[in-house]
Amino acid sequence: MTLPAVPPLSALDVVAVLRSASFIELAVLLLLACASIASWALIAMKIAQLRKARAQSVSFLDTFWKASRLEAIYATAQQLNDSPLSKVFRAGYEELSRLSQTRDQKEGAMAERLGGIENVERALNRASTAEITSLESTVPFLGTVGAAAPFVGLFGTVVGILSAFNEISEQGNASLATVAAPVGNALFATAAGLFAAIPAVVAYNHFVSRIRVFDTEMANFSADFLNIVKRHFFK
């Protein structure tokens, strides 16, 4: 007795999967495709932003520690608009300049000096918060895609499997050849969800780590700048 020949396994036919998919499955796949495209676009934009911020921050710090006058540092900082550190310095310098113009130089009360230092510190903190907010923009979207995409894909798979079993029950044929194709097509939604989620999760963790480094650098720079201000302007 000769057994029937088993056809060789072929590559996944995406077109055939899409043709056999239900409306809900197509909606799920379209949603995952849009999320994946948006994630990759945001990843590329955020990588470029952070690289530019890092390069300009290194350049700014080099100028800050080598220059002898704050005016020269401020002129350089105005040209480094993508550096969080330069923007923090500009905020502190502008507040310091405003205080220098309005501060009474005759008596120089202690309360006034302490108030001036607090104003500069608040300006630095506001600028640091604004820069962290700017750096974190679009990053939560990646976290959302990474967390939700597998479940969206699983939902599409469950709907596909239910639809496949309904068709099998109507045909009255539950052989492996009948079951394998529709169930395999339904699992395509889970694969699409993972394809969208994995890069988003990796990028999210990477960006959060790099932004945390910028946050620490801005806090350290603000402390150094305040020490310089106290020594030279609020003696």
Q: What is the pLDDT of residues 171-214, one digit of tens each?
A: 666 665 566 666 777 788 888 999 999 999 999 999 999 999 99
pLDDT of residue 13: 62
Average pLDDT in the chain: 83
Q: How far apart are CA 200 and CA 160, in angstroms?
A: 25
Reduce the DSSP state of residue 126 to 3 states and report it: helix
Report the percentage of the chain scoring pLDDT > 90. Answer: 51
Taking a C-beta distance cutoff of 8 angstroms, is the pair 85, 221 a contact? yes
Return d(Cα 143, Cα 160) in angstroms, integer: 26
pLDDT computed for residue 232 by the predictor: 73
Q: Are the beta carbons of 184 and 160 closer than 8 angstroms?
A: no
pTM (predicted TM-score): 0.80
Element (H, E) at 163: helix 139-171
**Identity of the residue numbered 186:** A
Closest CA to 43 of 146, 138, 132: 138
Amino acid at 173: N
Mean pLDDT of all residues in 92-110 = 69
Domain locations along the chain: 23-233
Q: How many C-beta neighbours within 10 Å does residue 140 have?
A: 11
CA distances from 57 to 123, 159, 172, 226 (A): 19, 50, 69, 18
Alpha carbons 222 and 99: distance in angstroms, whole number = 18
Residues contacting residue 58 through CB under 8 Å, at least 6 positions apart: none
For the residues 61-76, what does the mean pLDDT come to?
89
190 contact partners, CB below 8 Å, separation of at least 6: 150, 153, 154, 156, 157
State how far the Cα of 86 lies from the Cα of 68, in Å rounded to an integer.
16
| Pairwise CA distance, residues 103 & 51, whole Å | 40
Model pLDDT, residue 5: 47
pLDDT at 132 over 60: yes
Tell me which of 230 and 233 has the higher pLDDT: 230
